[in-house]
Amino acid sequence: MTIPILSLIILCPAIGVVLLFFVPEGKEKIVRGIALAVSIIAAFLSVWMYLAYDRAAAGFQFIEQYAWMPGLNSTYHVAVDGVGMTLVLLNAIVMLTGVITSFSIDFRVKEYFILFLLLVTGVFGSFICMDFLLFFIFFEIAVLPMYLLIGIWGSTNREYAALKLTIMLLAGSGLVFVGLIMTYFASDVRTFDFITLRDSGGFSPSFQNIVYPLMFLGFGTLAAVFPFHNWSPDGHVAAPTAVSMLHAGVLMKLGAYGVLRYGIELFPQGAVHWGPVAATMAAGGVVYGALVAAQQTDLKYMIGYSSVSHMGLVMFGLAAGTPLAINGAVYQMFSHGIMTALFFSAVGFFYEQTHSRNINEYGGLARKVPWVATCFIIAGLAGVGLPGLAGFPAEFMIFMGGFERFPVLTLIAVPSLVFGAFYMLRVLQKVFFGPEAGFTPKVHDIGIFSGSARVLLAGLIILFGIAPRLLSDLIAPYAMELLK
């Protein structure tokens, strides 16, 4: 009897949700405690899974399968391979740090954590579930709570942002739904089981060419692929800190993951056929995001557009489809995940302290809040792809792999290294250096507890920048397998 570790991982937040329902109103300490506990457990389980994964064997592991909808050949089938593992780990990290960051939420705490954990459940589910229908369901569970989380606890222009985000993402998942139905009925093996579909789906090239765009655009919207990215900066800005963390850190990866798994893996020929278009959109996003970010004065908008640029890199790697590029894309999902999580948690802290996100009102923070400032600077440098930080291996692999297939597009995308440095350093200088801004006297550095989240993330950025093999060894076999 092996431990059903994946189910346990999903159950952690799910149980948290159920427990929270029974916490009486006003007992906020208990609420926070439960949330923290389940996220810590989930994090431990994920790390355990990461260590227990048999690298030699690679492929799908920790498989569990129970009947769910026999009529439709849809089963509760969970498993992880290199990619799923990476993203589950990422989600666990962001969840933990997000919960810690969320301790500063001070009204409607119970509802907040219920929705938060619900969202996390959905994300975990979609990453490890190997059944298309079930995946879609988890996918929606992950998307929907955003509406309330942003709408209730959000800040700038929240109702507009929440509405736009929800509608766009659901429009995207509408496309996916159409693709889902077509896939189900086009395959001679009437099943939703991903592995069966992939291995014996037998989709004709013409069919793949029709369905792949549905998947790419449907999931791509969630991955903020240019030009369907507009919901994401608004969403980031409006969302409360921890939600931005989850949103930029994990949800957008969910989109990329969908493209990879249910687009490229299911419809390889379609992916090849549409590769140039996809790559162009992605490369456009890379440059576009980096350039537009230079115009932002709101920190969160700046990060939002940098995310557009970085997710563009992910999509570019996926579109290029060479093993190296895929490897880099997945790696970028992870590194960008922790990076933005760190960004947003730091910005959230500044916002609590100063009630401003306008970079022109900042100044000299580096000496007032050295810890958070250092964390933010680390994230920023990782964002501009500095070696030794998690961003570099990813970008390196993506460009190396992409150049083989799309040399010109790669050369168009590479200057984003400079553009990135341009806006990032501009922000670092305005916010942290130079003379101190007016409000700085009352600013004080972060406490140990909530600081731990930032420090953890920063440490991970450095760790995965120095020792990329921690992940790439898991991803590489997958990427090689994919090309077969």
Partner 1 sequence: MMLQLLPEFAALGALLILFFVTLGNNVSDRAARWITLALSGFVLVAAIAAQDQSGLMFANSYKLDTYSQFFKILMAFGLMANALLGWPLRSVPTAQRSEYYFLFFAAGLAMMLLASAFSFLVLYVAMELLSYSLYTMVGMRRARTESIESSVKYIIIGATASAIGLFGVSYIYGATGSLNFGALIDSLKGTTTHSALLMPGLVMVLSSFLFKLAAFPFHAWAPDAYETASSPVAMFLASVSKLAGIAFLFRLVYMVKPYMPEFETVIGILALITMTFGNLVAFRQTSVKRLFAYSSIAQAGYLMLGMIGFGDSAPVAVVFYSAIYLLMNLVVFAVVLELERYGEDPTLASFQGLYKRNALMAMALLVALFSLAGVPPLAGFFGKWLLFSSAAQGGHIWFVAFAILNSVLSLYYYLFLVKAAYFGDVPKEAVSLDKGGSRIAILVTTIAIALLGLYPRVLTEYLTGLNFPRSLLP
Partner 2 sequence: MQIQLGIATVLSPILSFVLIAAVGLRRPTVAKIISLTAATVSLVCASMLLLGVNDPAFKIQATWSWLMDDPSKFTIGLLLDPLSLVMLFVVSIISWLVQWYSLSYMEEDARQGKFFAFISLFCFAMMGFTIAPNLLQSFMCWELVGLGSYLLIGFWNHLPSAATAARKAFIVTRLGDVGFFIALLLAWTGLGTLDFGAMAGDAMSATWKAAIGGSDYGVWISIALFLAVAGKSAQFPLYAWLPDAMEGPTPVSALIHAATMVAAGVYLLARMSFVLVLGSEAAIMAWHGLAVIAMITALMSGAVAIVQSDIKRVFAYSTISQLGYMIVGIGTGAVAAGMMHLFTHAFFKALLFLTAGAFIHAAHSNSITDIARAGGAKLKLPMMALFVGSMALMGFFPFAGFYSKDAILEHLFVEGDWILFGMALLGVFITAYYTSRVIYLMLKVPAEPHQGHGDEHGHGHGLHLGSWMKLPLGFLAFASLVAGNVWLWKAHNWFVIPEAEHGNAALITALVSTAIAAAGAFYSARVFYWRTSADPMASMTGFATLLREKWYLDDAYWAIVHNFYLPITAFLQKVETIIVKGALDGIGTVSMTFARGFARAQTGEVQHYLGMSFVVVAAVVLILMSR
CB atoms within 10 A of CB 233: 26
- Applying CB under 8 A, which of residues 417, 452, 463, 481 lies at the interface with partner 2? 417
Residue window 251-290: x/- pattern of binding to partner 2, with contact defined by CB under 8 A = -------------------------------------x--
Smallest distance from partner 1 to CB 35, Å: 19
Q: Is there binding between residue 168 and partner 2 (CB under 8 A)?
A: yes
Q: Is there binding between residue 19 and partner 1 (CB under 8 A)?
A: no
Give the nearer residue to partner 2 in terms of CB position, either 400 or 463. 400
For residue 65, how far is the Cα from the chain centroid? 26
3-state DSSP assignment of residue 48: helix
Q: Which residues contact 150 (CB under 8 A, 6 or more apart)?
A: 158, 161, 162, 165, 235, 238, 239, 240, 243
Instruction: Answer for the pair 438, 43: CB distance below 8 angstroms, yes or no.
Output: no
CA distance 461 to 455: 10
Whether residue 227 has a cis bond before it, omega within 30° of 0 = yes
Burial of 227 (0-12, 13-18, 19+ CB in 10 A): exposed
- What radius of gyration do the chain's Cα atoms show? 21
Reported residue count of the chain is 484
Residue window 14-53: x/- pattern of binding to partner 2, with contact defined by CB under 8 A = ----------------------------------------
CA distance 382 to 389: 5
In what helix (H) or strand (E) does residue 251 lie, and over which residues does it extend? Answer: none
Give the nearer residue to partner 1 in terms of CB position, either 69 or 467. 69
- Applying CB under 8 A, which of residues 294, 412, 463, 470 lies at the interface with partner 2? 294
Q: Is there binding between residue 217 and partner 2 (CB under 8 A)?
A: no
Residue window 152-191: x/- pattern of binding to partner 1, with contact defined by CB under 8 A = x------x---x--xx--xx--x--xx--xx-xx------
Tokens 């119970």 locate to 110
The binder of 399, among partner 2, partner 1, none, by C-beta within 5 to 8 A per type, is partner 2
Q: Which CA distances in Å does 297 have to 237, 342, 357, 359, 374?
A: 12, 19, 8, 6, 21
Instruction: Answer for the pair 264, 482: CB distance below 8 angstroms, yes or no.
Output: yes
Q: Which residues contact 201 (CB under 8 A, 6 or more apart)?
A: 183, 186, 187, 189, 266
- Applying CB under 8 A, which of residues 13, 84, 151, 465 lies at the interface with partner 1? 151
In what helix (H) or strand (E) does residue 35 lie, and over which residues does it extend? Answer: helix 28-52
Smallest distance from partner 1 to CB 170, Å: 5
Q: Is there binding between residue 137 and partner 1 (CB under 8 A)?
A: yes
The binder of 166, among partner 1, partner 2, none, by C-beta within 5 to 8 A per type, is partner 1
DSSP state of 193: B
The binder of 24, among partner 1, partner 2, none, by C-beta within 5 to 8 A per type, is none
Q: Of 49-78, which residues contact partner 1 (CB under 8 A)?
A: 68-71
Q: Residues touching partner 1: how many (CB under 8 A)? A: 29
Burial of 98 (0-12, 13-18, 19+ CB in 10 A): buried
The binder of 170, among partner 1, partner 2, none, by C-beta within 5 to 8 A per type, is partner 1
Binding site for partner 2 (CB under 8 A): 164, 168, 227, 229-231, 288, 291-292, 294-295, 327, 364, 366-367, 381, 384, 386-388, 392-393, 396-397, 399-400, 403-404, 407, 410-411, 414-415, 417-418, 421-422, 425-426, 428-429, 432-436, 468-469, 472-473, 476
Binding site for partner 1 (CB under 8 A): 68-71, 111, 133, 136-137, 139-141, 144, 147-148, 151-152, 159, 163, 166-167, 170-171, 174, 177-178, 181-182, 184-185
